[in-house]
């Protein structure tokens, strides 16, 4: 009988296991991951950005976790020899509407007590000769890192303290009784524990349903397709370049990201996904589609975002449309410069009324805690989110 079983070897599961083991050195902790390596899904298929926390409402948990998470991530990287770079980020306005929105964002950054500067068009050009805009916000502390390396290090540190991570172990059933919680694995074996923490990302709702928890959301996958620039363009920018986000849309817009391996990616877009954990160009799962179309929230979300959804689909199929979005602020990038790069899939919890959950969402029972929604910037915020999870678990026991 384990003290804790954690389902999911992404950054939330591993950070939670590592912190629980630190706080309870004598407890037995087991992480179960269905893939043959950790960080195979959202954590290993993202932009690799350590966000500063400019976008979130001042005083919100998301703003606080992001700011604390950025500092904690940098410290973890420094302490463990993991690559990172604080290259800074520019949010570039290219027209009057974006300029207005940028100024509002700047006010928010000040309220969130971030180290920011407003740049004029000339100052922007000085910093980034290949970028054009009417003005920009310069966020000095934003950085980049290698999240899979962070996960591997957390798994190693967990094992050094006596914890265990088992790969190729898919959880297929969870049964809670008053005195224990039993998980069944795909090979038919069973594991018992006193408490379970589920951090299943794109499968979060299915893990909760397996346990018979009455949830009011479904995870809908949104694809994030990227392109990569050729190696000779790795120095096209020295900061991360973001557009000013449209407040009506839940995602940040196509950005130019310097990756920790020195390459530069363009993306991601935000497209309806038709298969959870399906990353190829054409990916369809009849069972995933069937559960989506039977869920009212899917149709409400589709109706609410059909214009932007159609635009995203068009731009995904028609490269010049995708290109136009980045040429707005970086005109020297051409069609021939874009080669395909790994796609990511965002686990977006959608409520029955079609609301896309932008915050963390937890479900708790006497012997379990399910992380139902851990949206971006949850890679940045993973350490404080997991601290919060540990507080909740230890407080409840
Ligand atoms: C395109 C994209 C770009 C992003 N960019 C950034 C960024 O730049 N910065 C940032 O901070 N955040 C970013 N994010 C968000 C961030 O990556 C995620 O919020 C974070 O990685 C979530 O981590 P997780 O551990 O909850 O999920 P995941 O990393 O998806 O891990 C869940 C794990 O659970 C496992 N699992 C599921 N079901 C089972 C089962 N039945 N049995 C065993 N194991 C199971 C899965 O195999 C998986 O390994 C981005 C996300 C995407 C998709």
Q: Ligand 1 pocket test: pick from 39, 43, 221 the residue with the most ligand atoms within 8 Å of its Cβ.
A: 43
Q: Predicted confidence band at 35 (pLDDT cuts at 50, 70, 90)?
A: very high
- Yes or no: say if 270 and 251 are a contact pair by the CB < 8 Å rule: yes
For CA atoms 32, 34, 38, 44, the dihedral sign is: negative
**Whole-number pLDDT of residue 272:** 93
Q: What is the mean pLDDT of the chain?
A: 95
Ligand 1 centroid to Cα of residue 42, in Å, is 3
Residue 385 lies in a domain: yes
What does the alpha-carbon distance between residue 182 and residue 180 come to, in Å, rounded to a whole number? 7
397 has a pLDDT exceeding 80? no
For 155, the domain range is 1-83+145-216+356-397
Residue 325 lies in a domain: no
- Of ligand 1's listed atoms, the one at least distance from the Cα of 378 is 19
Q: What is the mean pLDDT of residues 242-246?
A: 94
Residue 24 lies in a domain: yes
Residue 13 lies in a domain: yes
**Whole-number pLDDT of residue 304:** 86
Residue 50 lies in a domain: yes
Q: What is the mean pLDDT of residues 256-267?
A: 96
Tokens of 336: 């021939």
Do the strands 180-185 and 171-177 form a parallel or antiparallel pair, or are they unpaired?
A: antiparallel
Query: What is the CB < 6 Å shell around ligand 1?
Result: 7-13, 32-35, 40-43, 45-49, 51, 170-171, 199-203, 207, 224, 268, 344-346, 374-380
Residue 297 per-residue DSSP state: H
- Of ligand 1's listed atoms, the one at least distance from the Cα of 377 is 11
Q: Ligand 1 pocket test: pick from 5, 6, 9, 10 the residue with the most ligand atoms within 8 Å of its Cβ.
A: 10
**Whole-number pLDDT of residue 163:** 98
Ligand 1 centroid to Cα of residue 352, in Å, is 23
Domain count, the chain: 1
What does the alpha-carbon distance between residue 6 and residue 28 come to, in Å, rounded to a whole number? 11
Q: Which is nearest to 240 in space by CA: 45, 62, 75, 48? A: 48
| Ligand 1, atom 38: closest residue by C-alpha | 200
96 has a pLDDT exceeding 80? yes
Residues ≥6 apart with Cβ < 8 Å to 156 = none
The pTM score is 0.96
Tens of pLDDT, residue by residue over 55-68, are 998 988 899 999 99
Q: What is the mean pLDDT of residues 368-383?
A: 97
**Whole-number pLDDT of residue 133:** 97
Q: Which is nearest to 244 in space by CA: 328, 149, 355? A: 328
pLDDT above 90: percentage of residues in the chain: 90
143 has a pLDDT exceeding 70? yes
Q: Predicted confidence band at 154 (pLDDT cuts at 50, 70, 90)?
A: very high
Ligand 1 centroid to Cα of residue 294, in Å, is 25
Backbone torsions φ then ψ of 328, nearest 5 degrees: -55, -40
Tens of pLDDT, residue by residue over 203-230, are 999 999 999 999 999 999 999 999 999 9
What does the alpha-carbon distance between residue 387 and residue 263 come to, in Å, rounded to a whole number? 33
**Whole-number pLDDT of residue 396:** 62
| Ligand 1, atom 25: closest residue by C-alpha | 10
What does the alpha-carbon distance between residue 352 and residue 224 come to, in Å, rounded to a whole number? 23
Residue 172 lies in a domain: yes
CATH assignment of the domain containing 152: 3.50.50.60
What does the alpha-carbon distance between residue 382 and residue 71 come to, in Å, rounded to a whole number? 11
Residue 57 lies in a domain: yes
Residue 367 lies in a domain: yes
């Amino acid at each position: 009988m384990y003290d804790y079983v954690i389902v999911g070897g992404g950054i939330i599961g591993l950070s939670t296991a590592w912190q629980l083991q630190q706080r309870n050195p004598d407890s037995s902790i087991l992480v179960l991951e269905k893939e043959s390596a950790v960080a195979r899904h959202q954590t290993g298929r993202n932009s690799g950005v350590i966000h500063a926390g400019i976008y979130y409402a001042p005083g919100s948990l998301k703003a606080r976790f992001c700011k604390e998470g950025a500092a904690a991530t940098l410290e973890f990287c420094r302490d463990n020899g993991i690559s990172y770079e604080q290259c800074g980020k520019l949010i570039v306005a290219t027209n009057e509407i974006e300029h207005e929105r940028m100024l509002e964002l700047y006010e928010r950054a000040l309220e969130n007590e971030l180290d920011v500067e407003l740049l004029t068009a000339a100052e922007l050009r000085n910093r980034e000769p290949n970028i054009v805009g009417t003005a920009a916000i310069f966020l000095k502390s934003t950085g980049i890192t290698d999240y899979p390396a962070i996960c591997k290090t957390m798994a190693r540190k967990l094992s050094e303290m006596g914890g265990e991570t088992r790969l190729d172990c898919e959880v297929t059933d969870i049964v809670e009784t008053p005195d224990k919680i039993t998980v069944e694995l795909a090979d038919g074996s069973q594991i018992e524990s006193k408490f379970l923490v589920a951090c299943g990302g794109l499968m979060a709702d299915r893990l909760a349903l397996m346990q018979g928890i009455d949830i009011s959301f479904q995870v809908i996958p949104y694809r994030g397709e990227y392109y990569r620039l050729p190696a000779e363009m790795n120095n096209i920018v020295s900061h991360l370049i973001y557009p000013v986000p449209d407040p009506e849309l839940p995602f940040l817009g196509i950005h130019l990201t310097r990756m920790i391996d020195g390459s530069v990616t363009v993306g991601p877009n935000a497209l309806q996904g038709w298969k959870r954990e399906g990353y190829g160009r054409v990916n369809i799962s009849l069972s995933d589609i069937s559960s989506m179309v039977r869920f009212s929230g899917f149709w409400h979300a589709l109706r609410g975002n059909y214009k932007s959804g159609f635009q995203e689909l068009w731009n995904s199929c028609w490269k010049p449309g995708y290109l136009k979005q980045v040429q707005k602020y970086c005109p020297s990038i051409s069609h021939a410069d874009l080669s395909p790069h790994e796609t990511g899939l965002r686990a977006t919890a959608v409520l029955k009324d079609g609301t896309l959950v932008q915050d963390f969402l937890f479900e708790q029972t006497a012997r379990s805690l399910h992380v139902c929604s851990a949206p971006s910037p949850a890679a940045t915020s993973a350490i404080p989110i997991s601290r919060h999870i540990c507080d909740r678990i230890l407080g409840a026991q």
